[in-house]
Structure 1
Amino acid sequence: MADVDVDRRKRMKVHDSKVKGALVLTNHHSLTAITDELVFGRKVSVQLISADYSESTGMGLRGKLGKETHLKNWLRLEGDSTFELDFDSEDEIGVPGAFLIINRHHKEFYLKTLTLTHVPNVGQLHFICNSWVYPEEHYNNRYRVFFSNQTYLPGRTPEGLRHYREEELEELRGNGTGKREEWDRIYDYDVYNDLSEPEQGSEMVRPIFGGTIDRPYPRRCRTGRPPSKTGEIYPNMESRIGIFESLNIYVPKDERFSDLKMKDVYAYGVKLVSQGLLPGFESLIDKIKDLAVGTLENVLKHKFESMSSNTFNEFSSFEEVLKLYQGGLTIPKSSFLEGIREKIPFEFFRELWRSDGEHLLKFPVPQVIKEDNSAWRTDEEFGRELLAGICPVVIRRLQEFPPTSTLDRMKFGNQNSTITEDHIKDHLDGYSVWEALKNNRLFILDHHDPLMPYLRGINETTTKTYATRTICFLKNNGTLKPVAIELSLPHPDGDEAGVISTVHTPASDGAKGTIWLLAKAYANVNDSGYHQLVCHWLQTHATIEPFIIATNRQLSVLHPIHKLLHPHFRDTMNINALSRQTLICAGGLLEKTVFPDKYALAMSSNMYKKWDFTKQALPADLIDRGVAVEDPNSPHGVRLLIEDYPFAVDGLEIWSAIKSWVKDYVFIYYKNDEEIQNDSELKAWWDEVRTKGHGDLKHEPWWPMMRTRDELIQSCTTIIWVASALHAAVNFGQYPYGGYLPNRPAMSRRLLPEEGTDDYVELAEYPEKAFLKTVTPQLQSILGISLIEILSRHSADEVYLGERDTLEWTADEQAVKAFEKFGASLRKVEQKIDAMNRDGTLRNRTGPAQMPYTLLYPSSGIGLTGRGIPNSVSI
């Protein structure tokens, strides 16, 4: 009897000890004003949901609910507000697995975390929420449910949580109809039918990309906006929102930028407009009478159309270009900016300082000219940047000579190269062409086939350029030497007649020397456009978005693969939506700063036809490009044919670290392949990625079946690699390399002068002037530099590879230890990169520009650093 009394007293003691809670809300503009009402007005209630005990309802079994409790005792901390909660334990529910929250206030708030203490048999329990909670009328069930940081495969979910798990996914999928509102949490697919403004005329119409064989494209987030007003002519085109509503374009609210990052975006926008656009408006100011927002939008569009005007002067010398970074180039103060400042309906022009404290109206010195402002002109630096520059993912091993074309001869005639052995034999360090091929010494930067189908149309715009092939020779010291550049134009007799081509070889003096410099510039123009539209936008931004949508629709937040991938999707949908609104749309900034102009997305779509998910894996990509071969004795399974290839060397270290982490993680939750095959959510996720997100390529045979742990590990490693390291490699070097326009011109405005003309004489007498008259003009240079400076910066709230934004991201200790191991391996990679960059024998690590390769260095500080791998495509 005494023992029974002791047990009874113990149980009573447990019941008397209430479960305590601390609910954290992140402060934002409206939270301070509503805090007292949240507490004293009992506007927010919380109920715990049992993971141990279920009760029968009309909807089946659900976890037993605890009693409703309300917020109390507001404690404001820096950046956050914490509210205390007491949970009665009269109705014992065991260990909570979720909680239900109802917002009866008229304002939304951002719920960060809930931490429970004194939980019986557990102690402390964390709920990582990071979500906006809107008033109850915006939800079908009037409540939101959040789960603890436990992890469950679908078949192992506690019975009481199954209903809530499935209900949450149904809500996130929506029904595929209706216009999406700011409070919606719906992830759905659509084609790229929102790039045109047909109301502005035919010049502002672009094709719809996605949904057809001719114009395939990855899917983007559906907004549900109504058709354009010209629905009878263009019935399938979605209407667009105004330029000053761009930051409010729909993505699920939890995908939107943080307040801190939004402040940076405002400030970046101010700089882009004030430095890149508004100076040119001064010549128009007398014509502008109405400064209303609608008129301003038309002025912006008109300015884009007038970029070829003589508002700005030409650069006449490289020294004048350098004044952009020395503060000596006069950019007139804009009364226009002052005039519209107070007429903008939101804080577009009020955030004049970024979070990194840097003044808005200054161009930093690009790294490529920081130590030597003429090294960019050398052939060695040109070759180095193919291996360690902003676009190191296109160079291929040349396996046949001369190069041939894969374009349809019936449509495009003979497009094979006209480069001969005589052109290059004196530049191969004693090798014959056959010997150089056999010994893996010849490589090619081939932009001929991707560009040629659009070149005739492109050259009918303000652009005048060539399709290029660049052949490089691998020297004994490990550097690449360009030995021939072929410049090709469509035949004047029509596409079926093939091309007319000229071949140019290295020269350093007189007109020939300037022509060689221009030939490298034309190759860089091709490379800049291909990089921006294919390697950067298509192969990272656009292809990742379907994985984000499918993950949120089909994998519960309780699913281990959702927890694995979720950090690598942060901010991507928001930046993609902004890109559709301002960059890749008809007349957008990208069309105005890279050479393909209105053919930009068409070229991107054409290259998507060749996209292969399995070849996005770094080792597979290197093998496919012929720059590596399989080698089971190598630490990474491949052997590089260019040993000093900084992108590939560092990339393989990062790839292997990611794959090791993913393998450790997957093996925690899946003990065998059968468990993969029995995972219903995983199957639905992968089916939807293939058949909907990348539906235009759903019949391709290369898609993994997703039936084994190895397939899951390889696929998740590839997704993480693309979203983090690959994007970092092709994004954050844009300003360090391309901020100095002569090094990476994005467009050309004239073809090579013919001998006997005044322009040809100028090549020899005034080479710098001739060069600058050919590449991007001054106003567009300022606009382009402003844009890539924005794209190359790290925000103040960036989270890098090997980091999480909260220590309590999972309750699984094995996963935490595996992640700590991953972080330690990345720190070792940093040490290796530092050591290689100090090794003078590795000439491609720094090159003539004395610019260490750090684009795949995992960590970074804020701002323009030229290093750092964010977890996700976040800018």
Structure 2
Amino acid sequence: MSEYELEVTTGDMKYAGTFDNVFVTLIGTEGQSERSKLDNYGIDFKAGKVGTYTLKTNLSLGTLLLIKVEKDPLLVLPESEWFCTKIVVTTPEGDVLLFPCHRWISRGEMVELRGGRAMKAFEDDHPLLIEQRKKELMFKKSIYQWKILAKGLSHINNFNSPSELPAEVRFSESKSTEVANTQTLTGLELKFKGLLGSNEKWEKLDDMKRIFWFKKTAMSEYVAEHWKEDDFFGSQFLNGVNPNVIKRCFELPSNFPVTDEMVAPFLEEGSSLQQEIKKGKIFLYDQKILDGIPTRVYNGDSLQVSAGLCLLYLNPEDKLMPIAIQLQQKPSDQNPIFLPSDSQADWLLAKIFIRNADAIDHQAVQHLMKTHFMVEVYTVATLRCFPVIHPIYKLLLPHFRYTLHINTGGRTNLFGPEGPLSISSPGYDGLIVFMKKALSELTYNSLCLPYNITARGLDSIPNFYYRDDGIKLWNIINSFVSAVVNHFYPLDIEVQKDTELQEWISEIFTHGVLGKKASGFPSHFNTVDEVIKFITTVIFTATAQHAAVNNGQYDYNSWMPNGSLLLLKPPPTTKGQSTMETILETLPDVGETAIFAAILWLLSDKYTDEVPLGAYPTERFDEPAVQLMIKEFQAELSYLSEEIKARNSKLEIPYNYLNPSEIENSITI
């Protein structure tokens, strides 16, 4: 008779425990144990509890390879999913073996856990492990499949609603409850005030401050007070929610005929536009990608979106100031260039149209397409191509927590034809066309922050905290990824012969950028350095980049004039005709404003089960060297967090979106 001691750990999050029966079967090189129920006196699987069980077997198991875990119903009670963190087994010989799990297990589900160090496919040598690896991948590919949302867009997962998703990738019950409560309470507040569903126009701008009594932030209050100011308008292109669009201007576009006479009053005395361009002080915001995008019909008329251009000047006080705005791409008498010296209403309305274009670009391309949709591709490819024992699976999976759930639900509740984004100026169909156009122009290096910054000529522009914090974060993540990848792939030949790794990047190339070689995305890996760069990009996108474009949405855009997705009147075609009344008629009505503000609150809210960047469950890796790498990674993130806090304490407008302590480890909302 042989005895095995099992320590079974249940996750410490809310609702992680279960009353269902749990059975295990130990599988070794020489045989397998009987299917045994884990049952001690009292309640076994409470959240945060470690249960110790003795499993006796008459069989000789040899070297322990696998644990089969099954959860069967306790018939008198409803389904309760179980979050199993890990099982640690002490063998009769005294060996202690870790079997990581870190996933939800549903009733009737069978999960096979592998123990020991991370293994690449060509390193498995036992027939049982080779067969188990093959079966696992076949099963995962049957569960996780690709689906086309719209021709020309990145492919998505095959599930139609979050309820269809496997338990391992769904929200926890506590997360689902909190999100639902936020939606309910927000809706109730807006209904109580008579805002939801109202088609009344705002009588004055200050009335918008009553949208939410309690849902305010220091930054949202600041924006409401300062949004008209030119220096604040300019600063948002660097440190707002869309910091990836402006570029240094090396020469004026031929379709933007700004003259020295127009802008001389706004430049340093005695200078000229060409001199300031040569000094690297002129920057360009150009939304030509929006030109020709279809828009939706509103009260019988087609709405319009400004494919605008904005020239910005870095003045001697290092403030980025708008000095010229043209609201359409083709210059004409009906497309004037607006200047700060124009009437207050003309200049303010021109800036509102630029902010509208920026909000549309931000939400559809920078937020949804470049983070949510791209990370979904990385997630599905990872689930399909890697078994749980693979080192890259262990490294990446914590960065994909909840992403499939939020994307699957969001495509219906937020982005779908009936979702709030469908009432934006482009509408659902226009947003789809816009995103297709953006994906066709997407490049690999545009997602790699250091290359992105250099390509846009923004290496030295001052007060660019997104760049400063982002580059430091990129380097910290890159250093960690380099250490882990080099540990498992000491030679390029090991990258080349890892068939699972090669299939993974091939699927991403095929389903993410639709096989377009011009994107620069790799379709295969030849070197260790190529793997390091790509995985750094994946982790940075799923964590830091998403935080940069998501976490400040309520701060900056809940004050609707500063970033509305919907404008009801066309861009002005002449000067001197606009008034504050024109601006109020252009902005969304009361009900539309309330819908947008509610969505931004939901997307920016904090939830109790958040996992911060770098909080790897070390038990995924059994290797002490990798566990040390994780600790060093966490320490570097902590140092950067303190550095950012110290910097922010001296700023009028703190930039905290890339503070590691404020960044989630994955896209969860």
User: What TM-score do you get using the length of structure 1 for normalisation?
Assistant: 0.71
Q: Deviations over 1:519-545 (max 9, x none)?
A: 111100000011000000000001111
Deviations 1:422-455 (A, max 9, x none): 32233221432222222211111111x2111126
- Does residue 463 in structure 1 map to residue 297 in structure 2? no
Alignment counterpart, residue 379 of structure 2, candidates 521, 545, 548: 548
**Are positions 1:803 and 2:615 aligned together?**
yes
Amino acid at match of 2:265: D
User: What's the CA shift string for 1:597-627, capped at 9, x where partnerless?
Assistant: 5411211111110112232110111122222
What CA distance in whole angstroms lies between the structure 2 residues aligned with 1:656 and 1:590?
35
What is residue 190 of structure 1 aligned with on the other side?
147
Out of 646, 653, 671, the residue aligned to residue 490 of structure 2 is 671
By relative contact order (CA 8 Å, sep 6+), the higher-ranking structure is 2
Matches within 5 A, 1:550-565: 550-565=381-396
2:36 pairs, out of 54, 58, 69, with: 69
Relative to structure 1, the CA distance from residue 366 to residue 312 in structure 2 (aligned partners, 3 Å threshold; closer, same or farther) is farther
Structure 1 residue runs of 5 or longer lacking an equivalent are: 1-14, 39-43, 56-63, 175-185, 193-208, 211-215, 226-245, 283-306, 328-361, 405-415, 492-497, 628-639, 840-845, 860-867
SS of 2:61 mapped into structure 1: coil
Report how far residue 873 of structure 1 moved. Answer: 1.3
Could you tell me how far 1:777 is from its partner in structure 2? Answer: 1.8
Q: Which of 783, 805, 823 pairs up with 2:595?
A: 783
CA distance in 1, matches of 2:425, 2:193: 21
SS at match of 2:466: helix
Of 172, 181, 187, 1:267 maps to 181
* 8 Å Cα contact 1:725-1:856 kept in structure 2: yes
Inter-CA distance 418–686: structure 2 relative to 1 (3 Å threshold) = same
Structure 2 partner of 1:48: 26
Please state how far the C-alpha of 1:750 moved relative to its aligned partner.
1.7
1:129 aligns with 2:101: yes
Verify the 8 A CA contact 1:528 1:746 in the aligned structure 2: yes
SS for the counterpart of 1:374 is helix
Relative to structure 1, is the Cα distance of residues 854 and 108 closer, same or farther in structure 2, using a 3 angstrom cutoff? closer
Contact 2:443 2:518 in 1 (8 A): no
Distance in 2 (CA, whole Å) between partners of 1:27 and 1:480 is: 46
Contact 1:376 1:743 in 2 (8 A): yes
Corresponding position of 2:339:
505
| Cα shift at 1:770 | 4.0
CA shift, 1:852, in A, is: 0.6
Structure 2: gaps of 5 or more residues = none
Q: Distance in 1 between matches of 2:399 and 2:220?
A: 30
Q: Are residues 781 and 462 of structure 1, via their aligned partners in 2, closer, same or farther at CA, if it must alter by over 3 Å?
A: farther
C-alpha displacement of 1:153: 1.6
* Equivalence map 1:59-138=2 (5 Å): 64-73=31-40, 74-75=42-43, 79=47, 84-88=52-56, 90-105=58-73, 107=79, 109-120=81-92, 123-134=95-106, 136=108
In the alignment, which residue of structure 2 is the partner of 1:814?
Answer: 625
Query: Which shows bigger deviation, 431-440 or 380-389?
Result: 431-440
Report the CA distance between 1:647 and its aligned residue: 0.5
Cα distance per residue 1:491-532 (max 9 Å; x no partner) = 9xxxxxx9942111113xxx7012111111110000001100
User: Could you tell me how far apart the structure 1 residues matched to 2:359 and 2:541 are?
Assistant: 20
> 5 Å matches for 1:562-711?
562-593=393-424, 596=427, 598-627=429-458, 640-697=459-516, 700-703=519-522, 705-711=524-530
Question: Shift of the alpha carbon at 1:94?
Answer: 4.3
TM-score calculated relative to the size of structure 2: 0.91
After TM superposition, give the deviation of residue 115 of structure 1 in Å.
2.6
Letter in 1 for 2:207: E
Distance in 1 (CA, whole Å) between partners of 2:15 and 2:627 is 35
Give the aligned partner of residue 332 of structure 1. none
Structure 1 residue aligned with 2:643, among 826, 832, 836? 832
One-letter amino acid of the structure 2 residue matched with residue 375 of structure 1:
H
Offset, 1:323? 2.7
What is the CA-CA distance between 1:421 and the residue it aligns to? 3.2
Contact 2:416-2:428 at 8 Å conserved across structures:
no
Would the alpha carbon gap of residues 393 and 25 (structure 1) be closer, same or farther in structure 2, given more than 3 Å must change?
closer
Distance 1:321 1:571 in 2: 34
Contact 1:247 1:578 in 2 (8 A): yes
Cα deviation, residue 20, structure 1? 3.2
**What code does the residue aligned with 2:103 have?**
S
- The 3 A distance-change label for structure 1 pair 752 and 721 is closer
Distance 1:566 1:737 in 2: 31
Alignment of 1:348-387 (within 5 A): 362-365=214-217, 367-370=219-222, 373-387=224-238
Whole-Å separation in 1 of the counterparts to 2:511 and 2:333: 39
Identify which range, 584-593 or 254-263, moves more after superposition: 584-593
Say if 1:97 and 1:148, in contact at 8 Å, map to a contact too.
Answer: yes
CA deviation after TM superposition for structure 1 residue 790, in Å: 0.4
CA distance in 1, matches of 2:172, 2:310: 44
Q: 1:661 to 1:128 in 2, by over 3 A?
A: same
Residue 264 of structure 1 and its aligned partner are, at CA, apart by: 1.3
Compared CA separation, residues 93 and 733, structure 1 to 2 (3 A): same
* Equivalent in the alignment of 2:539: 720
For residues 96 and 333 of structure 2, the distance between their equivalents in structure 1, rounded to whole angstroms, comes to 72
What residue in structure 1 maps to residue 259 of structure 2?
420
1:668, distance to aligned residue in structure 2 (A): 1.0
Equivalent-residue separation in structure 1 for 2:444 and 2:337 (angstroms):
35
Distance 1:257 1:65 in 2: 34
Structure 1 residues 519 and 597, CA gap change in structure 2 (3 angstroms): farther
Question: In structure 2, what is the Cα distance between the partners aligned to 1:803 and 1:131?
Answer: 16
Distance 2:195 2:202 in 1: 19
- Please tell me whether residue 792 in structure 1 is matched to residue 604 in structure 2: yes
2:347 aligned with 1:516, yes or no?
A: yes
Deviation at 1:90, TM superposition (A): 4.2
Describe the superposition over 1:629-653 as per-residue Cα deviations: whole angstroms up to 9, x where unpaired: xxxxxxxxxxx12032111011001
Partner in structure 1 of residue 165 of structure 2: 251
Shift of 1:594: 5.3
User: In the alignment, what sits opposite 1:318?
Assistant: 205
Q: Specify whether residues 475 and 26 from structure 1 end up closer, same or farther in structure 2 by C-alpha distance, changes over 3 A only.
A: closer
Q: Residue 715 and residue 442 in structure 1: after superposition, are their counterparts in 2 closer, same or farther (change >3 A)?
A: same
SS in 1 for 2:271: coil
SS at match of 1:695: coil
Question: For the Cα contact (< 8 Å) 1:462–1:749, is it kept in 2?
Answer: no
CA positional deviation for 1:322: 2.1
